Amino acid sequence: MTDIEWPVEGPQVDVWNHLQTGIDLADEELSSLPDDLRHLTEGLGKALVEIRSQVVMESDDRLLLEVGDALLAEPWVRYAADLHIAGEGIHRATTALDRYLEIQPSAAARALPERARSHVREAVHTFMFGFDAACIALCRASLEQVLKDALVARAAYTDPQLKREHPTAGTLLENAKRAKLLTDAYDAAKRVVDRGDTLMHSHVYDGKILKQLASDSVRDLTSAMVELLAAG
């Protein structure tokens, strides 16, 4: 492999400045509308995005949903809705690299089981792009998959038994502890399960602490998986 030498000076402009410039230019398109019509168009675009994201709505909002398809047929309203979505995407993306760098991979004795890989990948992506509640839930789901694989390998369960009994993540965790599959990382694994259970069965954590809890869940999941993969 030949030596590679990058220029001493780095790129002149941050990636996100380029993308934000694009959003600003897109926003300028709306400036061709009269002020009152622009505000109405932007409000309709935002409202249509938010109402669809709720899936279930109050009856008072039904009319807007019913006419939503007709409104989105209007190019300016569709443009405003698209711009609103793009702005949120850029906002999430600007912090993704910093969040990505918070994730610290660890070496394990063997590869992740196939059925856990997609869960872990999704958990990492949701953390990177700021979907912290989803990250906490997916960390719990990822751990559950790795626990199942480790317990089957230890002959504590069979695959048909897992399908028949549908043990909870908490039950799998305690069985893994009894089978000595988890010792040092047991507390970390329990935190992953407890955070996920709270999220799914009780409430979404306060936004002020949600990001830190998601980061903690990724870290705790990593510790638990390393020990489980070594035990298997």
pLDDT tens for residues 64-75?
777 888 888 899
108 pLDDT above the threshold of 60: yes
Architecture of the domain spanning 108-231 = Up-down Bundle (1.20)
Average pLDDT over residues 156-185: 94
Q: How confident is the model at residue 132 (pLDDT cuts 50, 70, 90)?
A: very high
Give Cα separations from 6 to 3, 9, 10, 12, 17 (angstroms): 10, 8, 8, 14, 22
Q: Residue 2: pLDDT band by 50, 70, 90 thresholds?
A: low
Task: Tell me the C-alpha to C-alpha distance, in Å, between residue 116 and each of 11, 111, 122, 144, 147.
Answer: 38, 10, 10, 8, 10
- How far is the CA of 110 from the CAs of 6, 90, 123, in angstroms? 36, 37, 20
Q: What is the pLDDT of residues 177-208, one digit of tens each?
A: 999 999 999 999 999 999 999 998 888 888 88
User: Is residue 53 over pLDDT 90?
Assistant: no
The pLDDT assigned to 128 comes to 96
Residue pair 85/48 in contact (Cβ under 8 Å)? The answer is no
Cα(167)–Cα(36) distance, integer angstroms: 58
Instruction: Flag the least confident range among 47-51, 75-79, 131-135.
Output: 47-51
- Predicted confidence at residue 15, as pLDDT, reads 85
Q: Residues 41-50: what's their mean pLDDT?
A: 91
Domain boundaries, the chain: 15-93, 108-231
